Amino acid sequence: MERAFKFKLLPTPKQAIKLLNSLDACRHLHNAALEERITAWKCCRKRITYKMQSKEIPEIMKAYPEFKSVQHHVLQRALKRLDRAYAAFFKRIGDRKAGKNACKVGFPRFKGRNRYRTLEFDRTAFSLKGDQLRLSKVGTSKVVLHRSIPKEAVVSVAYVKRDAVGDWWVMFSLELPDAPVRTPKTAIGVDVGLLHLATCSDGTVFEPVRSLKSGLKRLRREQRRLSRRKKGGTNRERQRVIVARTHRTIERRRSDWLNKVSRKLADSADVVVFEDLRVKNMLQNRCLSRAISDAAWGELIRKTTYKAEGAGGMVLRVKTQDSSQECSNCGRMVQKDLSERTHRCVCGTVMDRDLNSAIVIVKRGIGKLQGIVPTFCGVSHDCAAPTGGTPGRDACGETGNTAARAVAPDLVEAGSPPF
């Protein structure tokens, strides 16, 4: 299992200058390599590969002394990055032609100053002892280890990044041994939304953080100030940092909350079931796109997934179709528009609309999982041992329907949500 750990890096002023020079060298190399690829294609329809370009590095280092202060592998990885950007570009083009993706496809860009921020050091170019990180041709600087790196982890790459504010960070890419997969016994369904970030099938509700909404006023003010500053001036640079800091605060607030929510979700059951949302399509709704981005559902699902997998659990995604219309108790379709917050069915089920969705989602998840793990019933008691149940029934003798109800027993039967 691959994970990334991010720490603050504290280079000395001299080291910071070396790092900045390295960034600049890599940026120039990136731009030159991109130009070479474009020209070769335009004039003689020739494809330049990573291999061809990386062979030229020793010559470049000879011809331009500023490249000598950068480690060979760091330059190589800068070229590799461009190669990846190319591959990703053609993949997106292919996806678009195949009709999988209707997004605009951007070509790899030339990078201006402030647009190239990351250096990649591979295993040969760095070493970490305690909180001291030695980077080849830069020196040894302190890392703020706010969490410990697991002893069994294999650190493969260190990404050194300068953020828009001007702070340095190091991100380690770790290879961790896979956690033993738990036999799934409990499941929880999660309905994500704008009014509540997440409504779980057990009745728990997580509010959205709305970090952009709360920071928008300040962000707008600072951006207005930035637009008034003279281009190239000291004051503009100072204001640019203030805007970057505002963005960073918004981002951190969101990330913090999503980490807390995803941790609770991942710990609450062996299987967490989400809807398979097409967030990109939903963002085309211009009235809601900002609120949807701010809610960051995709990020919530991503964070929950790696947290669950790290603990031997799993995250399932099920089809969203009609999950808000279907009755969680009897399966009838109850048509309602977005403004209707309560689900009322002729079978007597009355509950919050999102809670109903969450229960429908967990049922679909349980159904999907029973195809993979036939003994799974979704109830929080030990029923993993097969007892020779009839086909279509769980090992413990319960059907999928009652299983889902058992996840939220009081709610369904009491007929009213606890909030």
Residues interacting with Zn ion, by CB under 5 A?
Answer: 327, 329-330, 332, 345, 347, 349
388 burial via Cβ count (<10 Å: 0-12, 13-18, 19+):
exposed
Quickly list DSSP for 307-363: HHHHTT-EEEEE--TTTTTB-TTT--B----TT--EEE-TTS-EEEHHHHHHHHHHH
Residue type at 161 in one-letter notation: K
Nearer to Zn ion, 181 or 330 (CB): 330
CB of 201 to Zn ion, least distance (A): 16
Tell me which residue of 189, 248, 192 sits closest to 218, measured CA to CA. Answer: 248
Sheet with 139-144: strands ordered across: 118-122, 154-162, 168-175, 2-10, 139-144, 132-135, 126-129
Tokens of residue 250, six digits: 């918004």
Distance CA 74, CA 121 (A): 6
Q: Is 394 a catalytic site residue?
A: no
Q: Which of 222, 294, 354, 394 is catalytic?
A: 354
Q: Which of 120, 202, 222, 275 is catalytic?
A: 275
Q: Is 95 a catalytic site residue?
A: no
Helix, strand or coil, per DSSP, at residue 81: helix
Compute how many other C-beta atoms are within 10 angstroms of the C-beta atom of residue 350.
14
Distance CA 135, CA 158 (A): 9
Residue type at 264 in one-letter notation: K
Cα separations in angstroms, 239 against 163, 166, 210, 217, 293: 15, 13, 24, 16, 25
Tally of CA atoms within 13 A in the half-sphere of 268 that contains its CB: 23
Helices (H) and strands (E) in the chain, counts: 12, 14
CB of 344 to Zn ion, least distance (A): 9
Cβ contact 72:22 at 8 Å:
no
Phi and psi angles of residue 334, each rounded to the nearest 5 degrees, phi first: -115, 105
194 burial via Cβ count (<10 Å: 0-12, 13-18, 19+):
middle
Tokens of residue 390, six digits: 């009839």
CB of 349 to Zn ion, least distance (A): 5
Q: Which of 83, 120, 191, 222 is catalytic?
A: 191
Q: Is 354 a catalytic site residue?
A: yes
CB of 415 to Zn ion, least distance (A): 11
Nearer to Zn ion, 327 or 355 (CB): 327
Hey, which residues are catalytic here?
Answer: 191, 275, 354
